[in-house]
Amino acid sequence: MNRFHERAVNALLTVLFWLVIGTTAGLILFIAARGIKGMSWEFVSAMPRDRGLAGGVLPAIVGTLVLTSGTALVTVPLGVLAGVYLTEYARPGPAVRLVNLAIVNLAGVPSIVYGLFGLAVFVLSLRLGPSLAAASLTLGVMTLPVVVTATREALAAVPVAYREAAYALGASRRQVILTHVLPYAKSGIVGGSLLGLSRAMGETAPILVTGVAFWLPRLPTGPASRFMALPYHLYIIATQVPGMPPARIWATALTLLGLVMALNFAAAGLRRYGKGG
């Protein structure tokens, strides 16, 4: 009976394993097979022409990369500092519990709500207008819970024995954190942040109302500039441009997928090989 039970569980887990792998691989292959036909050097390196029917998607690629960098600039310093404070400094109590609750809830807020928040606060109240800055701030706030959580988990994973060793050698709390805990947790923090950023990279709703443009066939000029971005570009050409060749739509999807996956692989690599750096 027990043996049968164990076999059944094993079989179920194997099926689930292949289901997950199969779905992921299937999705990637599906998009790659269709996208590869529309892919060319011109597609990733030229300005779009004729409402995207010809030319390339360079401004959308650059827009997405710059937007993601801007998001990182906002969210990583804030999130890491918050995570360090909560793990290393804050005394456990009602205040910390409240902050934890807030972080969990922030992670659950729908992305369009972040978009509207960004519109109200960054675009209108702070008068940034629809711009790279406003969109980066919006995505940055959205990614904050991921970075805070990744930081806290990475810090909590630093073995107590190492902290004690450093304290016992007469290190102050600041020194233990700076020279010791953070370097040890670095790969976990960076890896977790990259995962959060790759999520932000593919978001459409929050940038929709905070600065993205469909048609802006030039590269963004600064934080105040509006910008093109791959997810929104994809949405428009897939739904709003009559006569758009499917190969161009799939090639756009493939480009976005490639960027997101590059970030994810970087994150996975760091988490796996960077331990204890």
Partner 1 sequence: MDTGKIEIASLSCAFGSRQVLHDITLTLAGRCVTAIIGPSGSGKSTLLRCLNRMTDLVPDARVSGKIILDGTDILRREQDVVQLRQKVGMVFQKPNPFPRSVYDNVAYGPRIRGLRRRRELDRVVEEALRGAALWEEVRDRLHAPALSLSGGQQQRLCIARCLAVRPQVLLMDEPCSALDPAATAKIEDLITGLRRELTVVLVTHNLQQAARVSDHTVFLLDGELVEAGETATIFTRARDPRTDAYVTGRFG
Return residues touching partner 1 (CB under 8 A).
91-92, 159, 161-172, 175, 179-180, 184, 276
Residue 227: strand pairing partners: 212
- Return the number of the residue (91 or 127) whose C-beta is nearest partner 1: 91
Compute the least distance from the CB of residue 163 to partner 1, in Å.
Answer: 8
SS3 of residue 159 by DSSP: coil
Compute the least distance from the CB of residue 146 to partner 1, in Å.
Answer: 26
- Interatomic CA distance for residues 106 and 4, integer angstroms: 44
Q: Where are the alpha helices (DSSP H) in 130-226?
A: 132-156, 160-168, 173-175, 182-201, 205-208
What the block records as the tokens of 137 is: 């701030």
Compute the least distance from the CB of residue 192 to partner 1, in Å.
Answer: 19
- Return the number of the residue (92 or 242) whose C-beta is nearest partner 1: 92
Q: What's the burial of 149, exposed, middle or buried (CB within 10 Å: 0-12/13-18/19+)? A: buried
Q: Using N-to-C axis directions, what is the helix angle for 246-273 and 2-35, rounded to 10°?
A: 130
- Return the number of the residue (72 or 176) whose C-beta is nearest partner 1: 176
- Interatomic CA distance for residues 190 and 151, integer angstroms: 8
- Return the number of the residue (4 or 89) whose C-beta is nearest partner 1: 89
SS3 of residue 250 by DSSP: helix
Compute the least distance from the CB of residue 99 to partner 1, in Å.
Answer: 18
- Return the number of the residue (40 or 172) whose C-beta is nearest partner 1: 172
- Interatomic CA distance for residues 166 and 241, integer angstroms: 62
- Return the number of the residue (184 or 232) whose C-beta is nearest partner 1: 184
Residue 244 one-letter amino acid: M
Phi, psi of 40 (to 5 degrees): -160, 170
- For residue 7, the 8-state DSSP code is H
- Return the number of the residue (84 or 237) whose C-beta is nearest partner 1: 84
Residue 212: strand pairing partners: 227
Compute the least distance from the CB of residue 161 to partner 1, in Å.
Answer: 4
Compute the least distance from the CB of residue 178 to partner 1, in Å.
Answer: 10
Compute the least distance from the CB of residue 159 to partner 1, in Å.
Answer: 8
